[in-house]
Structures are given as C-alpha cells and as structure tokens.
A and B are shown apart, each in its own frame.
Chain A
Amino acid sequence: MQKKTTLLIASLLACTVFAAGASARDLVIVSNGGTFQEAQSNAIFKPFEKKTGIKVVEDTWDNGIGVIRTKVEGGDSGWDIVNAESEELEIACQEGLILPLDIDKLGGKDNYVSGAVHKCGIGAAIYNHVLAYDKTRVSAVPSWADFFDLKKYPGKRALRASPKTNLEFALIADGVPLADVYKVLSTPEGVDRAFAKLDTIKSSLVFWTAGGQPMQLLASGEVVMTSSFNGRVTNAINKDHKPFGIVWDKSLQTADSWVILKTSPNVDKAYELLKFAGEAEPQSHLPEVQPIGITSAKAMTMVKPELLADLPTAPENAKDVLQIDDAFWIDNIDALTARWAEWSAQ
C-alpha cells in the first residue's frame, strides 16, 4: 500500500516536473532512504558537492523495475542516477532503459572489487544473505546443514517467503559445492532436490517478508536461526547488544549498483559523481553509519579495522560466499515462484 502511494505521488510529481519543462535541472540521485542513504549521503553526496560545487539533489525509492520503466517511458522525468538492485540492473540494461557505462571514465576496472563492474552499472553496495542465530540457544557456530538439522538444534527457523536464496541454501545444506549450486538448480531434478530438502524442516519453518522481521523473530525467541541481510544482524549485535551470531561462510552475496537513466540530461555530471563515488577515500567512510560492503578495491585498507570485521567485503568474510545468479532468477522466477507458492501452501 505504502509503495503504491509513493509510486503515485512520485509519478504525479514527475508529471509536474516534466510539464514545467525542466531543461537545465540539478543532478538528482535516487537511493533507498533510511540509514543506508544516510551513509551514502555523508560519505559521497555531500563531500562531492563540497569538492566540485555541483549541486546534488537526493530522492528515494522502494525499487521495482516498473518504476524505472515509468520514469524512462515519457522522456526525462527528473532522475539521473539510481541505486538499483542487481535484477533491476540486468533487466533495465537488456531493455535499454539505462546507459551502458564507460568503465574507463570511472577509474577503470581494477579500481573495483570483482563483481562490482557491470556493462550498465557500477557497484554501489555489496550485501549478503547470511545465517543468523541466537547464541543463547545455539552453542556452536551453525552451518546451513545445521540449519536443516532439527535433531541437532531443535526449534523453529525463519526463511524469506520467496524461492530466491532458499533453494540455494537448501542445496548448500544438502552438500552441493558453492560452484555447482546454479548448475544443479538449472535442472528439474535439482529443483526437486532443493524442495525435498526444504520438506525436511517444513514443520518448523516461519517465513519473513520485511527485512526487519528476522531480528524481531530472533529477539522474541520465536526462532533459533534465521536467514537475514547482514546489515540487520550487525546492527542488532552492535547497536542493540543482542546475543546473536552471524555466519559469513556459505552466505549469498548480491550487489546494488549505480545506474544512469537513458533519459538523463546530466550524463557528464553523473559520470563525475560516480567516479567520485568509486574512489577509495569517500568509500572508506560508508561503513561508519551502516555495514555496507564497499566496492572500491583500495578502500578496504582504509576502513577502521573494527568496522572492517562486519563488512561483506572484508577478506575474512568473503572467503566462502556465492554470488546470486541474476540471469538464472530472471528466467526462472515465475515458474519457481508458482512452485514455491504451491509447496508452501500445502
């Protein structure tokens, strides 16, 4: 409901801006709000304004490729740079809604950590789907195999209400090596295998939808383990002092990217901002507000060590992770969502 209203208001506003004929307007950058955008604003947008004198106007959105389509369909509607999720990046790039980027104008490929450079986008934030657990009820650091083992650790577990990430976790728990997860999942037998593994703990599963729920479920004692975004767990441990643990091994990694809309009248300024956003110094300040995985290869050594330990991109945490395969999910999301819904309703 909230999303719908925002969309409506956004499109109404867009209409007015468009009608007013915004020919020479300020550079507008759109991210996800909250502490996430606060971190980006403090580390990147404001220092960039100070350094270059180019005015940066911030806006927020709640994601959805439909929003990008609407924004681009009628010509420039007031957005230049958008913080997009990986699937949105992939689809928008294929559909030509965003500009292909010249990586050399952004400091070159080597400036970034691997996986942060895409044909149409440049890494903005890296985050993981991790296993989080209640230390008071799970004695040793659990693995995904333990997550699926009700005998070893009795009690309920929470997973996201979506096939994405859960089918991967099920296969990992069933002993599939990280490198083969999507190979196995691309076969009908592999999908059956993942669902069969999920069947073994179905009676003890609780499902979450909003990002804040997993920590609430852990804190209330409803579940002993859960999947979660890493930032939520770190904040619960560091800021709320909860007795939770985070497992980086065999977590699933994904990245948000900066993209430039095809209709942007400020392409040069946008490149300038993105080049600055990729530099080591500004990036090293990102984790001060939120444990955002940084994409600059050189910034890693500049982050304070106590902050580094909580980042998905810290070498210690990034040893054994799997990149979520967006191409796989774009092709299979409809069929697997239907199957997931059938499975979970039974």
Chain B
Amino acid sequence: MLKGQRGGVLRSYALIAPLFLFLLATFLLPVGMILWRSVSDPELRAALPATAAELSSWNGQGLPPAAAYAALATDLKAVDGASLASLSRRLSYENPGFRALLQSTKRKLEAAPAGAAPDLVALDPQWGANKTWQAMKRAAGPVGIYHILSALDLKRDYETGIGPARPGQALYRSIILRTFMIASTTAIIALALAFPLCAFLARQSDRVRNLLLLMVLLPFWTSILVRTTAWLALLQDRGVINTLLMDMGVIDQPMKLLYNRIGVIIALVHVMLPFMIFPLLASMRSIDPRLFRAALSLGATPFYAFRRVYLPQVMPGVMAGTLMVFVVTLGFYVTPMLVGGPGDQMISYYIALYTTGTLNWGLASSLGLILLVVTLSLYAVQNALLRRSGVGVR
C-alpha cells in the first residue's frame, strides 16, 4: 500500500518534470541571469586584475598605497583594447572623462622609458585625487552594490558613507514612485468603471450578457499597439474628441489630452479594463441574489445590505481584478511611450533604454530587481491583509 503510494508520488513528479524543466530553462534561469547582472561588476577585474586586488584591500580613504599605483601602471601597459573599452564604459557611468584618462595614461606609459618606476600623478594629476581612486574601488568587483545604489539614486563614498548620487536629484526613485502612482490610478479607475458594468452584466440573461461581453472581448483581442495608436487619433489637438467639442462650441481651445498623464491614464484604463471585468464578473455571478433580498427582508437598508452582504462576497473578485490590473500596468511600456510625455514614462521605458540603448545592463537589471522586490512585497502585504480580514484570494 505504502509502496504503491510512493510510486504514485514519483509518477506525479515525473509527470510535472517537463513543465518544471521548461520553467527552469525559460523563466527562472534567464531571470536569475539578468538579476545577477545587478550585482556583478566584472569589467575592472577583467581589465586590471592586479589593481583590482590592491583596491580591494585599500580602505578607500585618502590615496591608495604605492603598490596600487605600481599595479595600475603594469596593468595598463598589459591591457588589450577590448577590455579597456569595456572598463572605460563602466567607469564612464561615474565620470565621462575616464575613457580619455585611461587612454592617455596608457599611451604615456607605453612611451615612457622602461625601468624607471612611472609617476602616475605626473602623467595626469587626476591620479592624485581621492575621487578618481574611489570610482575605481567602487568598480573593483567582482560583485558590488554600485548598480543597485545607482538605481536608488545613491552612491557609496568611502570617506563619508552612502549618500545621494546627484545632490538634489532623485530620478529613479521618482520614476518608481510615478510607476506605482500610474498603476494604482489605473487600477482604481478601472475598478470604478468595471464595478457597475459587472453588476449590470451579472443580472442579464445569458444571451444579452454574452452579446455585451463580446463588446468587451473585441477590443481585448485587438493588438495593444493598434488600440494605443487609435487613442492618438482620438486625443490629439485636432483629433476626433477635440474637433467635436470645438465644433459644438463646448470649448474654444483644444484640450490637452495627449502627451500627458491624462492621455496615459485614459489609454491604460481602456487597455486594462477587460482584466478587471472578467474576475469581477465571475465573482458577482457566483453570488446568490437571494442573500441580498434576505438581508432586505430582515430589515437592512439597501446600503447596509450592500456593504455587509454583497461587498464581502465580491471582495475576492475585486482584489483579484485590482491586483491583476495593477501588476500588469506596472510593466507597461508601449502605451505610455506613445501617448505620454517625458514626465509620464514608466520604469520599463528606462529598463528598455538601458538594455538596448545605452547598454548599461547593470543599471537596467537593478531597476528590474527593485520593481520585482517592491511588487512582491506589495503582494505579500495584500495577502496578509486579506487573510486577516478572512477573505483570502485562493
């Protein structure tokens, strides 16, 4: 009996093994590799190995020991063009002048007579500055938190501790905040629109409901790009909406509906609405309408009955829909890019920019990591809240 059971367990593992391997190969592994880039900092170690070792033991204050200067001189003479190019790019994140500094120092070292120990500070006074060496130490790798700190607008200074990377500016924090603001606004508006619609749909006959649902499904089946582009035609200054309102004499000047937050929210709500309607409708249809009537017959006011009888029952649907819309919106890229202005771009825009545009993969994956962590913790908080109130999403 027991033996047979064990065989069954093994068989079921064998059955899900392909799925597990598929997930591992197509999801866990790539995600892990990308996230690894947020802490990996290999360029300096690859280009200047002896210098990297020296920098690791230096405390980052004042100037490094003479051994570090000697190591840098030796390393710079030996390094090949490809590694130096990668290193220059890594260091240019801190200071665009690094490429010129490294190249000119290498040239001068190669031109200098062999034998005598070269004086780097004489070759370029920047080698006598603490901030030059600090930037090198931050990049010394093989792993480091430079990229993650950058994605939070922070920078580690070995003399003064962790502080703002660019005083007075908090770009990525404001983008992350903006992303969550746009996603939550979209979720709330979608809920406000979907709730009465679903309440209405739930009470219709199957035929009418299916017909009306088709109107929800048709745009849902249409490509997001097409729907977004359609909003361009509708919302622009001489677009359908503005022309109509101006011809009717409602407004004199075209309303600004495009390339700002309003346009982004309108288009996002439209794109996300089906994701709210389906879970909400499913939970509303599973409610026994007699419960509501029973509450009324027992003397509850309609509002009381709605709040205490109806709402708790649709809560799982509301939560599932809101979370779905919120999380999917967090990662939106193409809609804000087309209908938003530069102040409405969400975090995925910057991740794409750093991945394919400027090739700063460390920063891109750090931004991704932050988005992932914040989203997962919000999800955990929501689950905990639901469990406490006794209506878990299962």
Contacts and interface: CB of A to CB of B under 8 A. Distances in A.
A332 B96 contact: yes
A289 interface: no
Main secondary structure of the interface of B (DSSP, over half): helix
A222 B238 CA distance: 7
B92 A207 contact: no
Contact of A338 (B88, B92, B166): B166
Interface stretch (A28-36, A90-98, A126-134, A274-282): A90-98
Given A94-B85, A220-B238, A338-B171, A345 B353 contact: no
A305 interface: no
Contact of A344 (B100, B343, B359): B343
B358 A95 contact: no
Interface stretch (B209-217, B308-316, B333-341): B333-341
A342 B89 CA distance: 22
Contact of B82 (A63, A64, A94, A334): A94
What interface size band does chain A fall in?
A: 20 to 34
Contacts of B169: 342
B238 A344 contact: no
A334 B171 CA distance: 13
A66 B37 CA distance: 14
B356 A335 contact: no
Nearest to A161: B342
Given A3-B356, A207-B259, A331 B92 contact: yes
Given A1-B333, A65-B359, A337 B353 contact: yes
Contacts of B337: 209
Contact of B99 (A161, A216, A331): A331
A22 interface: no
Contact of B342 (A94, A96, A216, A341): A341
A260 B272 CA distance: 45
Contact of B237 (A207, A222, A330, A346): A222
B89 A207 contact: no
A206 B256 CA distance: 12
Interface in A302-345: 330-335, 337-338, 341-342, 344-345
B174 interface: yes
Interface residues of B, number: 44
Nearest to A341: B171
A221 interface: yes
Q: A64, A66, A216, A331 — which one has the most chain B CB atoms within 10 A of its CB?
A: A331
B350 interface: yes
Contacts of A333: 357-358
Contacts of A330: 89, 92, 99
Contacts of B93: 334-335
A345 B85 contact: no
Nearest to B97: A331
Contacts of A334: 92-93, 96, 358, 360, 363
B375 interface: no
Contacts of B99: 330-331
B340 to A, nearest CB: 9
A182 to B, nearest CB: 13
Given A96-B81, A207-B259, A331-B99, A337 B358 contact: yes
Given A337-B358, A338-B166, A345-B343, A95 B82 contact: yes
A345 B358 contact: no
B32 to A, nearest CB: 17
Nearest to A216: B232
B236 interface: yes
Contacts, number: 86
A344 B260 CA distance: 12
A146 B88 CA distance: 39
B237 to A, nearest CB: 5
Given A221-B237, A221-B238, A330-B89, A344 B342 contact: yes
Nearest to A328: B96
Contact of B356 (A64, A207, A345): A64
A220 B239 contact: yes
A72 to B, nearest CB: 11
Given A222-B238, A331-B96, A334-B92, A341 B82 contact: no
B226 to A, nearest CB: 13
A345 B174 contact: yes
B132 interface: no
A333 B89 CA distance: 10
B86 interface: yes
Contacts of B361: 66
A206 B92 CA distance: 30
B239 A335 contact: no
A66 B96 contact: no
Contacts of B97: 331
B85 A346 contact: no
A95 B89 CA distance: 11
A308 B49 CA distance: 54
Contacts of B236: 220, 222
Contact of B350 (A1, A64, A65, A341): A341
Interface in A183-239: 206-207, 209, 216, 220-222
Contact of A342 (B171, B259, B333): B171
Contacts of B82: 94-96
Contacts of A345: 171, 174-175, 178, 342-343, 345
A64 B354 CA distance: 11
B318 to A, nearest CB: 29
B85 A95 contact: yes
Nearest to A7: B356
A1 B92 CA distance: 28
A341 B346 CA distance: 11
B355 interface: yes
B50 to A, nearest CB: 22
24 contacts: A3-B356, A64-B356, A66-B359, A94-B85, A96-B82, A161-B342, A206-B259, A207-B342, A216-B232, A222-B238, A332-B92, A334-B93, A334-B358, A335-B93, A337-B357, A338-B171, A341-B171, A341-B175, A341-B350, A342-B169, A345-B171, A345-B175, A345-B343, A345-B345
Given A330-B89, A330-B92, A334-B96, 17 more contacts: A66-B355, A66-B356, A66-B359, A94-B82, A94-B85, A95-B86, A206-B341, A207-B342, A209-B337, A216-B232, A330-B99, A334-B92, A337-B357, A338-B171, A341-B175, A341-B342, A345-B342
